[in-house]
Structure 1
Amino acid sequence: MLLAWPLRLTGHNTTQKKRLNNEVKMSRQIIISVMSKDRPGLIADITGAVFALDGDLADLKQSVLSGYFSMILLALFDERVGAEDIRKKIQETADDKVKVWVQETESPADEIPASDDTYIVTAQGRNRSGLVHGISRFCCERGINILDLVTRLSDGKYTMIFQIELAKAASANRIRLELADFAKGENMKITMQHNDIFKATNEVSI
């Protein structure tokens, strides 16, 4: 089974990305997070609520885990549309049991290009407690920022794919050497590729 990779790399998850029209005068940039028991039509309901409020959808990421649906999206709204308006409209359109979190953000909505210091770390080993913690601690101790993470458990084998940024860390070559030592000590298989190489050899971007 193929892993669904984070949206900033590929388009295999449900996503909507578009360049914002500068002529549309939207002044409130909103992050919306939604969680619910999964069912057909949730994406249509949630995006329909955004559309009903004349929102301009910029980016969206969703996944289903153990029967639970989660989505985080970025949209622009007129300044007259408040957080409570958005929450109520989504619950009216989807279901009043849907959990909705709304937060205004000042960051620009334009897509941020991947840094030259962005790499993909793929780690695999026999399933046991603490695997994700071990690698995330490795990154933390070296000033490595984890941008995205996907994991999968299959037939007792645990696979993790991290998208990391080394802008504030040591050189890539040094991190590779330290990862090799870490992998040996943890009895795991770990590889590190530049983000561009990973995209070129594994997936097709949007």
Structure 2
Amino acid sequence: MTLAALDDSPCVYLIDDDASLRESLEDLMHSVGLPVRGFASVREFLEAGTGDGPACLVLDVRLPGQSGMDFLRRMDAARRRMPVVMITGHGDIPMSVSAMKLGAVDFLTKPFRDQDLLDAIHAALEKDRTQRAAMSGAAEVRDRWATLTEGERAVMDRVVRGMLNKQIAAELHISEITVKVRRSRVMHKMAVRTLADLVRAAGRL
């Protein structure tokens, strides 16, 4: 199965080897306007790939080949950030606890209410949107930081550590005027107005 090119709209990826249940869940998601792609195994999902927009994975615990729990552990080890909703017909409390520790957004035992699944999916998609926004913001900060000269970075490092201009000047063996000039350039290039904003930006690097 090959996925068509996807835009930045959200998409739900569903892995369940029960064809009838998979089709039923696909119909449910289509009924509320959620794009969905279904797969019978982890291997099919990995071979197909994913789009670039917000997404979540609805993952059955028991699957042919690699199990859902094994794949969840693999995703956690690889720091793959797609939020996961686990579903199973054979769940227990220890398994659900393990799944949540591995980052699952929710753990639903079949038969579950349609609304419970939809609520879990919407929570997972919102989590992915938040993660993407944070990553995008961090990337912008890194791009701005890359425009700083070595001298400006040295000043910025000391400013965010709370050093005064005269202390920075003494440590770097430059004049206070030079520190002030570099500090002003840092604020401009980093697109911040206050010291607090600069400290927050530094924290995202």
Which TM bucket (shorter chain)?
under 0.3
The structure with the greater share of residues assigned to helix is: 2
Return the structure number with greater strand share.
1
Look at both structures and tell me which one has the larger radius of gyration over its CA atoms: 2
